Structure 1
Amino acid sequence: MHDAVGPARQVGFPRPIGPAVPVGSAGHPGNGGDGRAVDRGDGGRAARNMRAGAGAMSAVPRTVVSSSGPALRGSFSLPPSAGVLERADRTPPPTPWGRSPVLGPAPEIEAEAARRYCARLATGHYENFPVYAAPFSRAQREALAAVYAFARTADDFADEPAFEGLRERLLDGWEAELRRCFAGEAEHPVFVALREAIAHFGYRPEPFLDLLSAFRQDARGRRYGTFGELLDYCARSANPVGRLVLQTLGIRDARRIEWSDRLCTALQLANFWQDLSVDLPRDRLYLPLEDLARYGVPAEAVLGRRAVPGVAELLELQFDRTAALFADAAPLVAYAGWPGSAYLAGVWLGGRAVLALGRALGPDLLHHRPTLGVRWWLRHAAEKRRRGPEARPS
């Protein structure tokens, strides 16, 4: 099986651009009358508080065994190498990082329980999965929820503070489980559900391996010397998800896959610029170092969120590049068929709208995170109903 799958190449997973917090709802600060909002000074904490209890696993009975102690009732059996212990017989208490499934076998997990488990992750995580709410068939939603659960868990292993010091080990274990899944063996609920999706939609291992490669890259640091390096990261972190969505929709031709790649890269980049105020304090720098040098902007100034001369021009360059990718991807919206066009219209328009908000903020992006408000999404839904499912982008 190892030879059939091949070695993982290096890449990441796009964080959804849609509103992680229902902007415009009661208690959300900064909601504007025009249907947009800006996170002001809290580093996006309001959205990140949605993580609490996101990985609740009460629907999946498990048995957890510590590497150095007796089994705990109602939890999962962990390999000694994992070194992580998680109770799963009740909804986890709120934490600053959110819960994810851990490595380890779960005896006799039924397919329906595994599907419910993935649905919980897809709908309950603070970075929820918009595809799960799209007008897809039940089989499509369940398959994409399994894809999301796989990627969400691996992303948490690479990113969340709770897994510091264990990242490579956990990602290696997750890859081993993936390879077993493609060989027809699965015990963890994510892979039980994913095995079903593989059988139904014919997924190949490569997109999943690309995602794991990206998460490993995330775990080792986030610096990009050139824009080409950043595009290479997006090709492995974002584009595989789009390709899996297209395959789930029955779309396999090269032309629409190319448009999807452009769209996913544009969404990833727009998300990077949207999240500058959140990522920079965590030492995540997605602005290419060659561009910083071109405009005479020290990396230390950007990481310190100081709007020194050259920052405005630096950001404009990134906005222009991202806008060009959205323009290149526009035909996909018109030619994805139903229900793909309906879903992709919202993704495409939402991504462009977030990019426009970022452009309007300019250097203030270093301190404020723009998000789309409920009114924007309601206007989009009304427009989509008026124009019909095959509406073409303007």
Structure 2
Amino acid sequence: MSPDEYCQEKAAKSGSSFYYSFLFLPQERRRAITALYAFCREVDDAVDETSDSGVAATKLAWWRKEISAMLAGAPTHPVTLALQPHMARYALEGRHLQAIIDGMEMDLTQTRYLDYPGLQKYCWHAAGVVGILSASIFGASNPATLQYAEKLGLAFQLTNIIRDVGEDARKGRIYLPVNELQQFQVTAADLLNARYNDNFVRLMQFQADRAREAYREAFALLAPEDRRSQRPGLIMAAIYQTLLDEIEHDRFQVLQQRISLTPIRKLWLAWKTWVRG
């Protein structure tokens, strides 16, 4: 199996909305974004699929060294072998890859966030920086487009947090800011024990409204001349905003289930957004 085939299999297996967003890209850009996505999956899995935090930290430390080795021209892993040729071509920076690992390390050391600014920092590492790298691969000619991508990454991560509230709580992680839980009189025990009530719905509506504002702010930053090249990000936005609509329509029944869109619906949204241009 070639490095590109390894990354393709890693991406396809995930079933992520991210995968649908780059189906229509030209081959070279598709190979680059697939390699980037496979890297994100590898470091995310190092944390989420490892019960021992010490082992997870060791895995992340290995990935840090592997990124440095790749930048020095000596990658050893299929993902870094696939990613290396695209680093210079699309002006990708190693510090951004290391920042993604920083976000994974935050999941090992921090399970609560006191306020929204603290959560924003985590979201930048987990998704904002991925947006910057992705926009560079798609083709950004205006610096404002990278700001758009960074803000769009924040919107995606806020949507993920809403979708995964119950699942994350059962893993011992609560991303909803502590001061906002207190504001809406929702406790950590309420989340862990799936106590669904009006206070919880109001709290989640507040989170959804903030996510929608992040989408609006992102779209306002997208330079018109880059709109066509950034269609993969717009595909992701169409899928994620539709997901947010579904969650809201179900009145935030996210404590005991994971609301998702079917693959055919994601594909339809991807195609419709792509042809719209």
What does 1:137-216 correspond to in 2, within 5 Å? Answer: 137-161=26-50, 164-216=53-105
Aligned residue for 1:258? 147
**Cα shift at 1:146:** 1.6
Q: How many residues align?
A: 276
Superposed displacement of residue 138, structure 1: 1.3
2:233 match? 344
Match of 1:359 in 2: 248
Equivalent in the alignment of 2:217: 328
Q: 1:143 to 1:259 in 2, by over 3 A?
A: same
Alignment pair present for 1:311 and 2:235: no
Question: Residues 372 and 248 (structure 1 numbering): CA distance in 2 closer, same or farther, change over 3 Å?
Answer: same
Structure 2: gaps spanning 5 or more residues: none
What does the per-residue CA deviation read over 1:180-207, in whole Å, with 9 as the maximum and x for residues that have no partner?
1111221222222221111322211121
Corresponding residue for 2:156? 267
Q: What is the DSSP-based 3-state SS (H/G/I as helix, E as strand, rest coil) of the residue aligned with 1:306?
A: coil
Cα deviation for residue 330 of structure 1 reads 2.2
Q: Tell me the CA shift for residue 286 of structure 1.
A: 1.3
Query: 1:369 offset after TM fit, Å?
Result: 2.3
- Identity percentage of aligned residues: 24
2:37 aligned counterpart, secondary structure: helix
User: Pairwise CA RMSD of aligned residues?
Assistant: 2.3
Change (3 A) 1:131 1:354: closer
1:35-50 correspondence to structure 2 within 5 Å: none
CA deviation digits over 1:144-168, x for unaligned, max 9?
A: 1221222211111111136653111
Deviation at 1:131, TM superposition (A): 5.7
Say whether the 8 Å CA contact 2:70–2:84 is kept in structure 1. yes
Is 1:297 matched with 2:197? no
Q: Displacement, 1:172?
A: 0.8
Query: How far apart in 2 are the matches of 1:122 and 1:254?
Result: 28
Q: Is the 8 A contact 2:20 2:270 kept in 1?
A: no
Q: CA deviation at 1:238?
A: 0.2
**Aligned letter for 2:228?**
W
Q: What displacement does 1:234 show?
A: 0.8
Give distance in 1, aligned partners of 2:115 and 2:44.
Answer: 24
Structure 2 residue 97 is matched with structure 1 residue 238:
no
Q: What is the Cα deviation at residue 333 of structure 1?
A: 8.7
Q: How far, CA to CA, are the matches of 1:229 and 1:279 in structure 2?
A: 17
Alpha-carbon distance between aligned partners in 2 of 1:328 and 1:275, rounded to the nearest angstrom:
23
Q: Secondary structure at the match of 2:259?
A: strand
Counterpart-to-counterpart distance in 2, 1:356 and 1:374: 17
- State the Cα deviation string for residues 234-281 of structure 1 (Å, max 9, x = none): 111101111111111221533111111121111111111112232222
CA distance in 2, matches of 1:372, 1:170: 32
Aligned pair in 2 of structure 1 residues 198, 378: CA closer, same or farther (>3 Å)?
Answer: closer
Counterparts of 2:139 and 2:252 in 1: how far apart (Å)? 42
The structure with the larger Rg is: 1
Q: CA deviation at 1:210?
A: 0.7
> Counterparts of 1:356 and 1:154 in 2: how far apart (Å)?
30
**Structure 1 unaligned spans of 5+:** 1-58, 60-112
Q: Does residue 130 of the first structure (1) align with residue 19 of the second (2)?
A: yes
